[in-house]
Structure 1
């Protein structure tokens, strides 16, 4: 079973907004690992997977696994519209040394729950690595319903769910109904509710902010496990400040991703290049992010010292 804080890594890109920036990939991964996280998830939503060519995805799998060098588990996103391409990426991930793969429902067609169940079973049967389900209804327009998760949890090669629905009732029901199933991890995407879901019985969070401030999210997770609620309150307030001041700038649907990359640029970890169809923040927004990041870093460093 996997638990703890798993970082959904952004993909550092060169100035062409297409090619992998290997030097900054190395810098970012080592920064994340130094913060004590429990795993690294590449090629997810935060990693812009669907905007990257297969060439870049494959290069990232190989480079990231090589840089990590088995220090923490690596999870690889293989979401695609075809099983063949997902299996191909999984085979590359296996060869590179990844520990598990993650797949959202295939997008474009609206699958029913029976079709979704059959899809995941067919996929899991062919994979060389264990599979995490990825519930991301805001992007795929499909929700993996509770009954479907329960049936899929019986599959020998399906070992967990990453839920990014932000539906707390859905998540709490899963915690309750799956509590007696061994070796099935329930992880949550939205970092704003990670502490809350761990108290419910969840196993951790796949938190984007741990790209920037990994120690903050790790310490919040540990405080939650220890039921140190005074410390939880202190650190949760900082997590909410990250969410409010970095992810919600402007009126873009992509503000989370733009803000994350701008924040990492301010922290001198990556360039703020972003893959099409998106563009980087303009100068005004970058200035606002830089001001907010510097203030946040000071507060976070003080809280963790």
Structure 2
């Protein structure tokens, strides 16, 4: 892991806290950011964990404004601009630039299967048109396409493309990514596959983007400190704890169901409501009670 890079470290893809009227809960945004900053974590709003594909432009703008309000001086704020409409991504990136966002991330448009030539042209066109640094976000689970590593490497030399976030679950791809970029000072690699967090940091990744950080941000704070100190044993201890809390709300659930489950446990902690944006929906009180009871039974040895 490279030190002293502006775009590095633990970046948590924040949930989108909603009121029952399906508007941004500004108080909850403050609570989420407060716990992130207490553990030296940068917020990433409007990503997959933030249900961005289901949010209207108005709600997205509400979130950006709330994030700007609660942003701590001297910190870095990331936002997702993914859309199937290129002009919408460009316009939203400009809005983000006017509201304290430091860098933006985008997936591929997710309706048409794209050739490598089309993928490259899309990212180049977007990077040329926006006023903020761009992170290429690879997540085949939602886009149903994998961005080839050699294509990302070509794009990595574009002056406005600064990093990639990779959520593809492939050991081979992770190893190849680190071999390509671990020594690059002008381009970063972030892992969005929580189960390989410690391995990635030890291997030279610039940082992590773990959804479980919404619930237990201290895990990743301690993991990063351990790797920085060369304490790999402690880093892998934190990895085991990460796995336990990740499985708590993800195991046996679809991605959409797990986002509600994550919010349900966060509600128990007093952070936000368990409201999700349609088409997602709550799984019911029995499932919520089971989640909360399971959470209560877990010990919390982080930092202890």
Identify the TM-score tier after normalising by the shorter chain: over 0.9
Question: How far does residue 43 in structure 1 lie from its aligned partner after superposition?
Answer: 0.3
> 2:224 and 2:14 mapped to 1: Cα distance?
18
Equivalent residues of 2:104, 2:132 under 8 A apart: yes
Structure 1 residue aligned with 2:241: 238
Equivalent residues of 2:108, 2:143 under 8 A apart: yes
Structure 1 residue aligned with 2:144: 141
Query: Structure 1, unaligned stretches of length 5 or more?
Result: none
Q: What is the SS of the residue equivalent to 2:234?
A: helix
Equivalent residues of 1:6, 1:40 under 8 A apart: yes
Query: Structure 2, unaligned stretches of length 5 or more?
Result: none
Structure 1 residue aligned with 2:302: 303
- Which stretch shows the higher mean deviation, 18-27 or 44-53? 18-27
Deviation sequence 1:1-57 (CA, Å, 0-9, x none): 4111101000000113x21111111122112211221x1100000000011110000
> 1:71 and 1:122 mapped to 2: Cα distance?
30
Does 2:104 match 1:111? no
> 2:302 and 2:211 mapped to 1: Cα distance?
20
Equivalent residues of 2:127, 2:133 under 8 A apart: yes
Does 2:6 match 1:26? no
Question: How far does residue 230 in structure 1 lie from its aligned partner after superposition?
Answer: 2.5
Q: 1:1-305 to 2 correspondence within 5 Å?
A: 1=5, 2-16=7-21, 18-37=22-41, 39-248=42-251, 250-296=252-298, 299-300=299-300, 302-305=301-304
Equivalent residues of 1:9, 1:47 under 8 A apart: yes
TM-score by length of 1: 0.94
Q: What is the SS of the residue equivalent to 1:96?
A: coil
TM-score by length of 2: 0.94
Moved over 4 A (4+): none
